[in-house]
Chain A
Amino acid sequence: MSSRAERGISWMTVNYNKINLRSKLRDSSSSRSVRTPRNDIRLNMPLIQTKNLNKEYCTDEVKTPVLFDIDLEINSGEFVSIMGPSGSGKSTLMHILGFLDRLTSGQYLFESADVTGFDDKKLARIRNEKIGFVFQSFNLLPRTTVLENVKLPLQYRPGLKEKEKNEMAESALKAVGLEHRMNFFSNQLSGGEKQRVAIARALVTDPTLIFADEPTGNLDSKSGLQIMEILDKLNKAGKTIILVTHETNTASFAHRIIALKDGRIVSDRKVDNRNQFNGTLK
């Protein structure tokens, strides 16, 4: 029996197969309606699809529209940056795509399922199982060890033994190179380390999709670069990454940049000159 720990350690290499398997399963289950050839589905099935997605905030009978008719498709395995100045609606879009907020009208399909009508409990479960979040301000629990912080998402997953949780958290910490900080308290870490712990926490449930909301915003450039390198690695290992940023330089680590302005998509392009890591940071 292969332990979860082994599985975790080998994320970087194994997960392609896993995604492959998932695609095949989906393929067979929906074979009636499938018209695309099989090999197209591999790595390219739309993980996220929105149609006419609108969002407005209502406060005291004043309606503030934030997003207008967003049509978007993001496939499994993509590394996408959502860019835009503040107030462009990029964070709101991320929150809706990450099930932290609800859309006002339109449609949102996640793994081809319409999630618009899902109740809070179902959404919580999707967040726990499919999504990992990395925030600008880390959001680690204070006075709590690194290991406990990383284990936190697993605490909301019933049926796991403590030993399994520890193994999963340890391998997630190894993936961000912080296994030696395991028993440190979160406030004893540097900013870069804190963000790596936050990434480990996002990774520990082995999610399909990782949202990073200005992950380098509170970091010096060297630590920021480290974080981007980790995200790049995770993407190479098969994770879909959606990065929200207003920095062009940071956004250029992605394959694709979606630019928002005033709540509308103003451009959606492939990145030709991707920022590459030359190994100096290792």
Chain B
Amino acid sequence: MTYKLLLHSSIRALRANRNRTFLTILGIVIGISSVIVIMSVGAGAQSLIFNQMASVGTNMIGILPGYSDEEGPPASVMGVVITTLKAKDAEELKKIKEVTAVAAYVRGVDTAQAQGQKMDITFLGVSADYPRVENAELELGSFFDQAQDKEMARVAVLGYEVWQQLFNGDNPIGAHVKIKNESFDVIGVFEKRGTESFENKDNMILVPLTTAQKLLLGIDHISMIHLLVKSDNDVPAALEQIKSILREEHDIEPGMSDDFTARSAAQGLEALKQVTNALKFFLAGMAAISLIVGGVGIMNIMLVAVNERTREIGLRKAIGATARNVQEQFLIEAVTVTILGGIVGIIFGILTSAMVAGVAKYLGYDWDLVVTMPSILMGVGVSGAVGILFGWYPAKKAAGLEPVEALRHE
């Protein structure tokens, strides 16, 4: 029998049991559409993150304490405290001639108070180079300078939201804000910066690095260094020098691994992409489990169909169908069901993804609707494979029926 004929007879058989066919493909539809939605929404979220990260600039290098290989982030990202990175390291790195600005960071959370108002904030202790490194502009006042950092000045620069909430939008310059019961003079306010890399930049209060270390946190290490180099082309050379300087500073013997991780923004993006990809595929894999459930449903229904149509199988064999002919017929029927389910699932998945993208865009996110050809082809391929996998046994069973037994079947 030609494939065209087989397809034709499959469609006829499936149409004969419309309700059953509908219920059978439902499992596949759900499975495929969830995979498509997760892949697409995942890609959309990735593009959102990357769009934001790319705005940071590709001539930035970040240094975190703790070693990591190329594949993933260092342990400090997961919240493990590593104390090997010091403010002095940041000072040393300024000597590299490609480096134009260096900022060291520590961070903490607390409830800030001013004029009887309270607000939960993140406070950052940073170097004076911070506005240049982060490309952040001030709305009011000025940022502290290196001298103020050195002498542990009690000055603070507010994020936009902090200003709005604690000072109700009034001029806060010269006013006081309390963090951890220590009073700070407000000397500046950042303009609205929004959320970047999962971090709301507008509910922060920035104080000099040394002040934060000694006064607020009681530590002498730092949690991160960001530095800018002159241009993208200088990134590799700068990375080399950073490594050799820090290894020397930290007395690391040759052959031992680094106790820090220095990466360019581009490398960071790559690492983030790998982490988010892993997450995306893991979730898609979870969704694919519903495909297995759908497949078992297909197998069940195909076994019922083989049983119901035993006489038909007997007849087909009596008029010359070989075992292979019968097997092909039932296999193609199963594959037809699953591919049909796959196509419906893809359409359904794309519609859902488009809805998510529409809502995200409406909410003001820089969200792209990403539906790639590979994910569509994968959807069709996987549903076909599910059909073959789960249709195989019923088809084999049909093919193995003895013609006489099949014809006698009531």
Asked if A pairs with B, the answer is yes
- Show the binding face of A for B, using Cβ within 8 Å: 95, 98, 100-101, 120-121, 124-125, 127-129, 133, 135, 139, 141-144, 152-153, 155-157, 201, 205
Q: Is B319's CB under 8 angstroms from A100's CB?
A: no
Query: Which of B25-33, B196-204, B353-361, B400-408 is found at the contact surface with chain A?
Result: B400-408
- With both chains docked as a complex, state the minimum distance between the C-beta of B322 and any C-beta of chain A, in angstroms: 4
B312's closest neighbor in chain A, by CB?
A141
A-B contact pairs, 30 of them (CB 8 A): A98-B318, A100-B318, A100-B404, A101-B402, A101-B403, A120-B323, A121-B323, A124-B320, A124-B322, A127-B320, A128-B320, A129-B320, A133-B318, A133-B319, A135-B315, A139-B312, A139-B315, A139-B407, A141-B312, A141-B315, A152-B316, A153-B319, A153-B320, A155-B1, A155-B2, A156-B320, A156-B325, A201-B319, A205-B319, A205-B320
Q: In the complex the two chains form, what is the Cα distance from A38 to B236 in whole Å?
A: 99
A-B pairs with lowest CB-CB distance, top 7 = A128-B320, A153-B319, A156-B320, A139-B315, A124-B322, A100-B403, A101-B404
Given contacts A129-B320, A133-B319, A153-B320, 5 further A-B contacts (CB under 8 A): A120-B322, A121-B322, A135-B407, A142-B16, A156-B325
State A134–B339 Cα separation when bound (angstroms): 37
Which residues on the B side are within 8 Å of A157 (C-beta)?
Answer: 320
CA distance A121 to B311 in the complex (A): 20
A194 to chain B, nearest CB (A): 13
Are B315's CB and A144's CB within 8 A? no
Contacts of A141 in B (CB 8 A): 312, 315
Residues of chain B contacted by A142 (CB below 8 angstroms): 16
Please report the C-alpha to C-alpha distance between residue A127 and residue B323 in the assembled complex, in whole angstroms.
13
A128 and chain B: residue at smallest CB distance: B320
Restricting to B329-367, which residues have a CB under 8 Å from any CB of A? none
Q: Which residues in window 1-34 of B have CB below 8 A to A?
A: 1-2, 5, 12, 16
Docked pose: A139 CA to B402 CA in angstroms = 16
- Judged by a CB distance under 8 angstroms, whether B321 is at the interface is yes
| Residues of chain A with a CB closer than 8 A to B404's CB | 95, 100-101
A143 touches B16 (CB 8 A): yes
Please state if A156 and B402 are interface contacts (CB–CB under 8 Å).
Answer: no
Number of A-B contacts (CB under 8 A): 63
B319 engages A156 (CB within 8 Å): yes
- A135 to B12 CA separation, bound complex (whole angstroms): 24
Instruction: Using C-beta atoms within 8 Å of the partner chain, give the interface range for chain B.
Output: 20 to 34
Measured CA separation A90–B403 after assembly (Å):
17
Residues in A with CB closer than 8 Å to B320 are 124-125, 127-129, 153, 156-157, 205
| Complex-state Cα separation, A124 to B314, whole angstroms | 12
- Residue B107 at the A interface, CB < 8 A? no
A100 touches B312 (CB 8 A): no
Write out the residue numbers on chain A whose beta carbons fall within 8 Å of the beta carbon of B1. 155-156
Check A127/B319 contact, CB under 8 A, given A141-B312, A156-B1, A156-B325: yes
Contacts of A155 in B (CB 8 A): 1-2, 5
Q: B317 at interface (Cβ–Cβ under 8 A)?
A: yes
- The CA-CA distance from A124 to B311 in the complex, in Å, is 16
A142 to B324, CA, bound (A): 23
Contacts of A121 in B (CB 8 A): 322-324
Q: Which residues of B contact A143 (CB under 8 A)?
A: 12, 16
Residues of A within 8 A of B318 (CB): 98, 100, 127, 133
Q: Mark B384-410, 1 if CB is under 8 A from A, else 0.
A: 000000000000000000111001000
Look across to chain B and name the residue whose beta carbon is closest to the beta carbon of A121: B322
The distance from the CB of A139 to the nearest CB of chain B, in whole angstroms, is 4
Provide the B289-312 mask, 1 if CB < 8 A to any CB of A, else 0: 000000000000000000000011
| Separation of A171 and B406 alpha carbons in the complex (Å) | 30
Minimum CB–CB distance for B400 against chain A, Å: 10
| Docked-complex contact A152 and B319, CB < 8 angstroms | yes
Tell me, in angstroms, the Cα distance from A32 to B12 when the chains sit together. Answer: 54
Q: With A100-B404, A127-B318, A153-B320 known to touch, is A139 a contact of B16 (CB < 8 Å)?
A: no
| Chain B contacts for A127, CB-based, 8 A | 317-320
Q: Which residues of A contact B312 (CB under 8 A)?
A: 139, 141
Contacts of A98 in B (CB 8 A): 318
CB pair B12–A144 under 8 Å, yes or no, is: yes
Give the docked Cα–Cα distance between A201 and B315 (Å).
11
- CB A247 to nearest CB in B, in angstroms, measures 21
Q: How far is the CB of B34 from chain A (nearest CB, A)?
A: 34
* Minimal Cβ-Cβ distance residue in A for B315: A139
Chain B residues near A120: list those with CB within 8 A: 322-323
Q: In the complex the two chains form, what is the Cα distance from A178 to B89 in whole Å? A: 98
Roughly how many angstroms separate A201 CA and B320 CA in the complex, as a whole number?
A: 12
What's the minimum C-beta distance from A130 to chain B, rounded to whole angstroms?
10
